[in-house]
Amino acid sequence: MTALPSQTPADPAAVDQLLSRLSLEQKIGQMIQAERMAITPDEVAEYHIGSILSGGGSAPGANQPADWIAMNDAYWAASMREGPGRVPIPLVYGVDAIHGHTNVLGATVFPHNIGLGATNDPSLIERIARATALEILATGVDWTFAPTLAVVQDPRWGRTYESFSDDPALVARYAAPYVRGLQDGGSDAGVIACAKHWVGDGGTTDGNDQGNTVLSEAELERVHMTPYRPAIEAGVLTVMASFNSWNGEKCHGHRYLLTDVLKGRLGFDGFIISDWDGVEYLDEDLGVAIERCVNAGVDMLMISVEWKRYIELLLASVRAGRIPMARIDDAVRRILSVKQRCGLLSRVRPAERTTATPGVLGAPAHRALAREAVRASLVLLQHDKQILPLAPSARVLVAGRNADNRGHQCGGFTVAWQGTNGNDQIIGGTSIWEGIQAQTPHAEFSLDGDAADATRHDVAIVVIGERPYAEGMGDIRPDRKVAPGSSPAGRTAQLAPYGQSLVNAELHPDDLATIQRIQARGVPVVAVMISGRPLRVDAELAHTAAFVAAWLPGSEGQGVADVLFGAAPFSGTLPMPWPHGDGVWPRGYGLR
Ligand code: BGC
């Protein structure tokens, strides 16, 4: 039986042999990950670059699978070029496939993590990760920056939807199946997983992205480190350092957390990658920042643009003895053994891989799986008059800003970093309105509900909620400022937050207006909410007969319609508490 890649031990002798042939310049090159827009294949060869990434939404050519394969093939060939002073080592290409391979047009878009948390089903997670791995491989890519193992503690955090739950135990239950699904596809069919962001990303003060997590070590371990143990046991090959600080000290420069705890106590033997220019938060002097970061234990540096400057500074620091050669050797040994363990060293060029098959992207079986996940993720919060499920014969009015908007239902990190608006860029799949049309011939669409008429409509489905956002632009910050001690040199302070309160009627007053308009005409309303987190919806609840939390379901809006019309039951439960009225629906709540 072929050993599973994540369980294949590195061959230390072979890795050491490879390492011993590398010059300092080649070793430093392996430690660099540049963004694709800032680097050419010739530069990959010249500087011995170890890795390239696509930042959120960064895509080659017309963003078709064939464009991705061609790009990967060119970079790979450059990394394998023979020549004097060159040891060919395949580069590894990384993407944010955090809910499907969603940078690419036509990919299957799975629900974001918060919705998967509502399904409470680890076996579903493994199947989704496997399907995602196949779509990634279909484009010649080998590495995804997933799973996010954040344990969100405050829904004001703009990355709440990237977290499965506020419960460390639930996140931990998903960690190993997610890693196995990505990595263990057999000798040629695994991708490298990346558990992120180490550590405490979900615990920052006031939920500020990239902020400061103020906690005792015991609590940091109990809440935020817990999911990493099963991920490491499952063989996760990489971990990403987090932008946040722990008690005022940035994780990117935290030797105790990176080296003593993660690599030491937890026994993580893969490599640590920094987050997007995360090095630069450590010191205004880039050379000093790089030294702190690498000496603290980061092995590969993710760089948006200035990778050449990083190389110069790294070389200078090593030559001056400010970064010990042993640290460089350790970093490169880790990088090479990951490349070896995932089978990369023996893979043929991307264009010739049997897995690089464009048709796998958005394959019917993957879309069916995503639809199944959507069905399982819906949480019925309120259900007054036993109005659900709807009969196929019901005369339905469909309304609301998010009813016919595949972009909105996919959320951030879909085609573009901040997501997209409308149906045009989500190729394939169905909006919720399109899904409803497939369930019943008696449906009419009216964006603001103005067509509501009790003589013609038995019920209205109103789809409300958030528009897409990612990272700090999803934060809710009452005074628009970040909490003291947060992100001193980070980007968050410069990013406009999503809003100032968690009350949907304040964020999106038109939702309530649409619901009230329809209700006032005597048509009962079923509200479906698209959101990356619990929002206060007391005003909307007061005017609706049923209220469904649909999270960010992704491309397969059909799954929402399936449940509304009874083709599948409501089975999802809250992955985190949802405040309402004077109380709160606890985690685990969900009507049947
Ligand atoms: C995010 C990471 C992501 C990286 C690469 C950063 O801004 O924090 O989660 O993997 O960008 O796109």
Residue 91 Cα to ligand 1 middle (Å): 19
Of 148, 192, 273, 276, the residue with max ligand 1 atoms within 8 A of its CB, to mutate for a pocket test, comes to 276
Residue 57 Cα to ligand 1 middle (Å): 11
Contact status, residue 534 vs residue 161, Cβ threshold 8 Å: no
Q: What is the pLDDT of residue 484?
A: 55
Q: Which of 567, 564, 571, 379 is nearest to 460 (CA)?
A: 564
Please confirm, yes or no, whether 280 is among the known catalytic residues.
no
Our answer on whether the CB atom of 498 is closer than 6 Å to any ligand 1 atom is no
Give 13's contacts (C-beta < 8 A, 6+ positions apart). Answer: none
Quote the CA–CA distance of 590 and 241 in Å, as a whole number.
35
Residue 175 has, within 13 A of its CA and on its CB side, a CA count of: 29
Residue 544 Cα to ligand 1 middle (Å): 38
Our answer on whether the CB atom of 145 is closer than 6 Å to any ligand 1 atom is yes
- Catalytic residue, from 275, 277, 511, 540: name it: 275
Residue 54 Cα to ligand 1 middle (Å): 10
3-class SS at 342? coil
DSSP character at residue 250: E
Spans in the chain with pLDDT lower than 70: 1-8, 187, 480-494
Contact status, residue 108 vs residue 159, Cβ threshold 8 Å: no
Quote the CA–CA distance of 536 and 155 in Å, as a whole number.
11
Backbone angles phi, psi at 413, to 5 degrees: 55, 45
Q: Give the count of beta carbons closer than 10 Å to the beta carbon of residue 348.
A: 12
Contact status, residue 125 vs residue 116, Cβ threshold 8 Å: yes
Q: Which of 101, 109, 97, 114 is nearest to 377 (CA)?
A: 114
Q: What is the pLDDT of residue 339?
A: 96
Our answer on whether the CB atom of 275 is closer than 6 Å to any ligand 1 atom is yes
Strand partners, 53: 35, 94
Q: What is the pLDDT of residue 1?
A: 32
List the residue whose alpha carbon is closest to atom 8 of ligand 1: 275
Residue 52 Cα to ligand 1 middle (Å): 13
List the residue whose alpha carbon is closest to atom 4 of ligand 1: 276
Q: What is the pLDDT of residue 494?
A: 64
List pLDDT tens digits, range 361-414. 999 999 999 999 999 999 999 998 899 999 999 999 999 999 999 999 999 999
Quote the CA–CA distance of 55 and 417 in Å, as a whole number.
8
Our answer on whether the CB atom of 474 is closer than 6 Å to any ligand 1 atom is no
Please confirm, yes or no, whether 384 is among the known catalytic residues.
no
Angle made by CA atoms 503, 587, 482, in degrees to the nearest 5: 45
DSSP string, 509-562: HHHHHHHHHHHHTT--EEEEEE-SS--B-HHHHTT-SEEEEEE---SBTHHHHH
How many angstroms from the chain centroid is the CA of residue 561? 25
In the chain the domains, ranked by start, together with CATH numbers, are 12-354 (3.20.20.300), 378-585 (3.40.50.1700)
Of 52, 143, 275, 495, the residue with max ligand 1 atoms within 8 A of its CB, to mutate for a pocket test, comes to 275
Name the strand (E) or helix (H) holding 579.
Answer: strand 578-580
List the residue whose alpha carbon is closest to atom 11 of ligand 1: 276
Contact status, residue 209 vs residue 471, Cβ threshold 8 Å: yes
For the packed helices 122-137 and 364-377, what is the interaxial angle rounded to 10 degrees? 150
Q: What is the pLDDT of residue 385?
A: 80
Q: Which of 511, 582, 583, 576 is nearest to 207 (CA)?
A: 576
List the residue whose alpha carbon is closest to atom 6 of ligand 1: 276
349-355: which pairs have CB atoms within 8 A and are 24 or more residues apart? 349/73, 349/76, 349/77, 349/80, 350/69, 350/72, 350/73, 350/76, 350/140, 351/69, 351/70, 351/73, 351/140, 353/137, 353/140, 353/188, 354/188, 355/134, 355/137, 355/138, 355/188, 355/189
Our answer on whether the CB atom of 466 is closer than 6 Å to any ligand 1 atom is no
Angle made by CA atoms 500, 502, 508, in degrees to the nearest 5: 80
List the residue whose alpha carbon is closest to atom 2 of ligand 1: 275
Residue 369 Cα to ligand 1 middle (Å): 26
Quote the CA–CA distance of 515 and 544 in Å, as a whole number.
8
Residue 257 Cα to ligand 1 middle (Å): 20
Determine how β-strand 443-445 pairs with β-strand 396-399.
Answer: parallel
Our answer on whether the CB atom of 55 is closer than 6 Å to any ligand 1 atom is yes
Q: What is the pLDDT of residue 3?
A: 45
Give 404's contacts (C-beta < 8 A, 6+ positions apart). Answer: 398, 423, 431, 432, 433, 434, 445
Dihedral angle computed from the Cα positions of residues 178, 160, 362 and 237, in that order, rounded to the nearest 10 degrees: -30
Quote the CA–CA distance of 457 and 450 in Å, as a whole number.
12
Determine how β-strand 301-303 pairs with β-strand 32-35.
Answer: parallel
Of 37, 96, 238, the residue with max ligand 1 atoms within 8 A of its CB, to mutate for a pocket test, comes to 96
Residue 566 Cα to ligand 1 middle (Å): 38
Our answer on whether the CB atom of 167 is closer than 6 Å to any ligand 1 atom is no
Strand partners, 198: 241
Of 53, 145, 196, 487, the residue with max ligand 1 atoms within 8 A of its CB, to mutate for a pocket test, comes to 145
Q: What is the pLDDT of residue 493?
A: 57
- Catalytic residue, from 73, 471, 511, 562: name it: 471
Q: Which of 249, 181, 183 is nearest to 212 (CA)?
A: 249
Our answer on whether the CB atom of 56 is closer than 6 Å to any ligand 1 atom is yes
